[in-house]
Amino acid sequence: MEKDTQLMIIGNGFDRACGLESTYSSFFKYHYSKIFNLKNKPATEFNVEELKDKFYKLRDDALSIFKSFHDKNNRYNELLKKYPDLKNVNCWDLIFLAMTISQNNSKINLKWCDVEDTILQCINSLLIKNVFPVSDPLTDFFIQQISSITLRQTFSEGNSKDNYSLHLLNELHKFEDTFAKYIVKLMENSNYNHNVIEMIKNLYDENSYSLSCNKISILSFNYSADMRIKNAFNEKPRFPSITHWSNIHGLAAYKNGNVRQIIGKGNEVPSPIFGVDNHDITSFKEIDGVKKDPRFFFTKAYRLLENKVNNIREPFNYTDIKLITIMGHSLNSADYTYFITIFNNVHLYDSDVCLEVYYYANNNKMHDTQEERMAIRNISNLLINYGNTIDDFHGQNIMNKLVLEKRISIIPNHHKFKC
């Protein structure tokens, strides 16, 4: 059977090109402006120093109250009198904020992979080393005390690390729900859905191999566009149909009734998740012959199963894939497992499947050169990891093989839509 499918793998850069301000930096500024009452200033007016000042004042006021009150509930109630908005803050809000501003940068320029890296750093510190990961001792102590109140759990009270881990996970759910509301709000006030359709058309029309693909499959790492785009796209007869759409990490609009009916077919729709890759946890502890590690609850494998992500997945045939197009994904190691699985299923090393990777270009030569180099480095690292699952020789050889066989391209994306 002839291969005839173009698999498009899209990440946050795809959404940004479609006009959605879905970067973590944008969310960070929006979220923490509300928490610290910075009057929801536009991103261009966001003052990092003002945010630092407010955070450190909260920390110092809290530490002063902690000295005066020994009972946790009394401490928290006194703190809420001075900071009533704190009741809507969970420990991950404080952890992400503290670790960001501790970097002493004058600008907030974060990526979603930074969130996953922070989660990994935190669970390594909290659940393995029994310490908080922020370098400043006063900030560490402040977050530890707030967390012990909001989680009602501390190691010193004899609770198991599994219980503590699950409480931390419940707090992460709250952070993810706040993010979901932010994405839904962005989508409601934009031309985003129209832009997504146009971008998919561009990726199909402009594929670097002029391959005659008759079908399109979408694997989205985003929480925004969903299967409803597939239905709208397929109304355009000039283009091949989208036969498959999967949002691998859940949907921002998971509470929407129409989404549950159309996508979940009445079943629960998975909410957005953040997690770490199994490979990033270097050693699972073995207890009585069974591998156990409290960090396991934060791996993407666990979170996807817990989140019922299969409720919104459609059957997919890897044997039909002729071209893999990657756009807007950082190719961070936290998602290596997904890509390696795909490459293995299509037998990328010894097949005729082609690969193209888009990077963001803005017609600034220095910027575009840097972005192209980053894209080459990132895809090279990913391919070496994939090749090493076959054997060490293939790992080092695969990039050269794809280049010699003209099966890989690094392509600038000049398309940028406004919402």
* Residue 122: predicted pLDDT: 82
pLDDT bucket at 159, cuts 50 / 70 / 90: low
Over residues 320-326, the mean pLDDT reads 95
229-266 b/e (C-beta count within 10 Å ≥ 16 → b): bbeebeeeeeebebbbbbbbbbbbbbeeeebbeebbee
- pLDDT higher than threshold 50 for residue 323: yes
Phi first, then psi, for residue 227 (nearest 5°) are: -60, -20
Residue type, 215: K
Over residues 217-232, the mean pLDDT reads 93
* Residue 139: predicted pLDDT: 76
* Residue 347: predicted pLDDT: 93
* Residue 153: predicted pLDDT: 44
Residue type, 19: G
| Nearest alpha-carbon partner for 255 in 199, 198, 178, 193 | 178
* Residue 357: predicted pLDDT: 96
| Nearest alpha-carbon partner for 376 in 395, 356, 396, 394 | 356
Over residues 336-363, the mean pLDDT reads 93
Kindly give, in sequence order, each residue whose CB lies less than 8 Å from that of residue 12, ignoring residues fewer than 6 positions away.
22, 23, 111, 112, 221, 222, 328, 329, 330
pLDDT bucket at 74, cuts 50 / 70 / 90: confident
pLDDT bucket at 284, cuts 50 / 70 / 90: low
Q: Which two tokens stand for residue 38?
A: 């910075």
- pLDDT higher than threshold 70 for residue 199: yes
For 232-243, the pLDDT digits (tens) are 998 877 678 899
* Residue 291: predicted pLDDT: 57
Name which of 173-182, 255-264, 317-326, 346-355 the model is least confident about. Answer: 255-264
* Residue 156: predicted pLDDT: 44
Kindly give, in sequence order, each residue whose CB lies less than 8 Å from that of residue 290, ignoring residues fewer than 6 positions away.
none
Give the strands of the sheet with 321-327, arranged side by side: 241-247, 215-220, 5-10, 321-327, 354-360, 408-413
pLDDT bucket at 253, cuts 50 / 70 / 90: very high
Over residues 191-216, the mean pLDDT reads 87
pLDDT bucket at 147, cuts 50 / 70 / 90: low
* Residue 210: predicted pLDDT: 66
E strands, 250-402, where? 285-287, 290-292, 321-327, 354-360
Over residues 120-131, the mean pLDDT reads 76
CB of 270 within 8 A of CB of 308? yes
- pLDDT higher than threshold 50 for residue 157: no
- pLDDT higher than threshold 70 for residue 256: yes
Q: Which two tokens stand for residue 412?
A: 């600038």
Q: Can you tell me the distance from the alpha carbon of 168 to that of 412, in angstroms, rounded to the nearest whole number?
A: 40
Name which of 65-79, 227-241, 293-307 the model is least confident about. Answer: 65-79
CB of 146 within 8 A of CB of 90? no
- pLDDT higher than threshold 50 for residue 289: no
| Nearest alpha-carbon partner for 123 in 303, 340, 258 | 303
Name which of 184-188, 285-289, 295-299 the model is least confident about. Answer: 285-289
Phi first, then psi, for residue 244 (nearest 5°) are: -150, 135
Average pLDDT, the chain: 82
Which DSSP helix (H) or strand (E) runs through 350? Answer: none
* Residue 25: predicted pLDDT: 81
Pure H helices in 189-273: 192-205, 227-233, 257-262
DSSP code, position 220: E
CB of 223 within 8 A of CB of 252? yes
- pLDDT higher than threshold 80 for residue 86: no
| Nearest alpha-carbon partner for 132 in 105, 104, 154, 162 | 154
pLDDT bucket at 31, cuts 50 / 70 / 90: confident
- pLDDT higher than threshold 90 for residue 411: yes
Q: CA-CA distances (angstroms) from residue 7 to 207, 241, 317, 358?
A: 11, 12, 11, 14
Kindly give, in sequence order, each residue whose CB lies less than 8 Å from that of residue 37, ignoring residues fewer than 6 positions away.
85
Over residues 66-91, the mean pLDDT reads 79
* Residue 13: predicted pLDDT: 93
β-bridge pairing 290-292 and 285-287 = antiparallel
Name which of 67-81, 127-141, 195-209 the model is least confident about. Answer: 127-141
DSSP code, position 272: P
CB of 91 within 8 A of CB of 143? yes
| Nearest alpha-carbon partner for 256 in 153, 160, 183, 320 | 183
